[in-house]
Amino acid sequence: MSMRRFLGKGHDRGQVTIEFLGMTPVIIVTLVLVWQCVLVGYAYTLAGNAADEAVRAGTAVPRGARQGVCQEAGLKHLSGSWTGEVACDGTGYVHADVKVHVPVLFPGSISFPFKAEGHAGAVEEEKH
């Protein structure tokens, strides 16, 4: 068998397939990491929005009913399978803290040990 025939055209068939199969795990891991970053960012967005809505609801009610109304409004704005905790307090200046559980890959599944936090505050409305 001559060297020319051994190195000739057509002896690298399937090379692209082998290279693609080798890169497939890298592509999948990259997509999973990007998706997880999107979920972390969305958790912070939800926490901030829920804190805004909670403090808005909390400033419109008397102090005695504030925690319940505030908590209900904050949790209402956590969509679907997202879970979290809402706390409101303050006199004169009301503030709400929301902690949203950051899911691993899918909301409603297991969560990371850290939570996305949102904070909002507003001056209490005066009743005339």
Q: What is the pTM of this model?
A: 0.75
The pLDDT, as a whole number, for residue 82 is 79
The pLDDT, as a whole number, for residue 87 is 84
Structural domains of the chain ordered from first start: 13-123 (3.30.1300)
DSSP code string of 20-89 = HHHHHHHHHHHHHHHHHHHHHHHHHHHHHHHHHHHHHHHHTS-GGGHHHHHHHHHHHTS-TT--EEEEEE
Collect the ranges in the chain with pLDDT lower than 50: none
Q: CA 80, 101, 104, 32 torsion: positive or negative?
A: positive
* Angle CA 79–82–86, to nearest 5: 90
